[in-house]
Structure 1
Amino acid sequence: MNRRLVYLVGPSGAGKDSLLQWLVQHPPAHTRLHLARRTVTRPAKVGTDGDEAVDASAFAALLQANAFVMHWSANGLQYGIREREFAALATEGWVLVSGSRAHLPLAQLSYPGLSAVHVHASADVLRLRLSARQRESSTEVEARLRRALAFDASADAFYLSNNEDLESAGQRLKAHLFSQAVVPCVTNAPDRLGRKVT
């Protein structure tokens, strides 16, 4: 099987990370999936092993050292994907990235063959999920909803509804990704996606 890079985008509350975790736990037979760990400028959460949390100065140093193959800013935070997270592409594995909607066009330009997936949900579902997280005020939740509704999905992205249970959405994502003809994922970019996209 040829190597693949899967790039999921969508508004907060759409369930991108849950879908990626589901996919890793339910891989097709004889397929290796690697969920790329993001480096993010936010405080570390005790007891979790998800994103790599760094402060702004550490992120800037990594950026200066060309440690990232992708990086972007969103909602006041800086995100990066370290080069080592793409190692599976060299050994016919699949790499899954939870990315940024604004960064998607640059990722598609730099990685022809990338599988883009835009995860979405209705405004009511997004509002319910965001409120349940209790991370933001009602005003901040509504601001996120306005941004989500104003964003146009890429015409090249598979549009995946995640209004219902995770199993149903996960099965549709799995069917879409692994029923396609597999295209090698190579890069045209001479740099490491070093341009800042907000």
Structure 2
Amino acid sequence: MNAHGAADGHGLFYLMGPSGSGKDSLLRALRERLGPDHRIVIAHRYITREADANEASVALTTDEFRRRQALGCLALDWHSHGLHYGIGIEIEQWLARGLTVIVNGSREYLPQAVARYPKLCAVHVRVRPEVLATRLRQRGRESEEAIARRLARAAQAFTVPAGCRLVEFDNSGALETAAEAFARLVGATSDSATLS
């Protein structure tokens, strides 16, 4: 991909979708196909819970999260389901170096992310409700009541700011299908690449 400037977020892909839609699996599949010549970085998230082995996250206490927030260490941060999430300010250095940067974001926070990075590309991962329900139960993180809340939230519309580029993928079926489309979008295709 071409070199991009950091100020406007050109070169920034903002991945979002309901919990259980397979965002972490898509990121893992992408990470596995990245070679030394790919100028792509997947940013880790800071989160105020223990990080799942399946996700690229760093666990912080709430106090430490707030401290880093106050110190300006976070480029993006939001609160959801009683947890704090953040993306480090280091992404701006990566963008300034002309790298393509992918972050795991939040649909509700998209307007704020676009306000800071007007040229980001929003990537929304959709999944059929019955598939989502099964995945959330298999994860075993939450009660049925919490799962019901997540399913209701997944069905809600979200705000896409005017002028924001939005690309949507359906990840209800085989991971390989969505992973291939995602890799093409961010410029991570190569003849030798393999999907997980």
Whether the TM-score (by the shorter chain) exceeds 0.5 is yes
Q: CA RMSD in A?
A: 2.2
1:171-190 to 2 correspondence within 5 Å? Answer: 171-178=180-187
| 1: CA distance, partners of 2:37 / 2:50 | 37
| Alignment partner of 2:137 out of 128, 131, 134 | 131
TM-score, length-scaled by structure 2: 0.82
Map 1:9-48; keep pairs closer than 5 Å.
9-27=16-34, 30-43=37-50
Query: With structure 1 as the length reference, what TM-score do the two structures score?
Result: 0.81
Of the three residues 117, 123, 145, the one matched with 2:151 is 145
- Cα drift, residue 112 of structure 1: 2.2
CA separation of 1:43/1:157 partners in 2, compared to 1, >3 Å: closer, same or farther? same
Query: What SS does structure 2 have at the residue aligned with 1:18?
Result: helix
Unaligned runs of 5+ in 1: 180-198
8 Å CA contact 1:37, 1:85 repeated in 2:
no
Note the C-alpha offset of 1:94.
1.1
Distance 1:74 1:12 in 2: 11
Q: How many residues align?
A: 178
Structure 1 residue identity aligned to 2:149: A
Alpha-carbon shift at residue 139 of structure 1 (Å): 2.0
* Separation in structure 2 between the aligned mates of residue 138 and residue 57 of structure 1, nearest angstrom: 29
Tell me if the contact between 1:118 and 1:153 (Cα under 8 Å) persists in the aligned partners: no
The whole-number CA distance in structure 2 between the counterparts of 1:44 and 1:26 is 23
CA shift in 2, pair 1:48/1:135, >3 Å: closer
| Uncovered stretches (5+) of structure 2, i.e. residues with no partner | 5-10, 189-196
Residue 50 of structure 1 aligns with an amino acid whose one-letter code is A
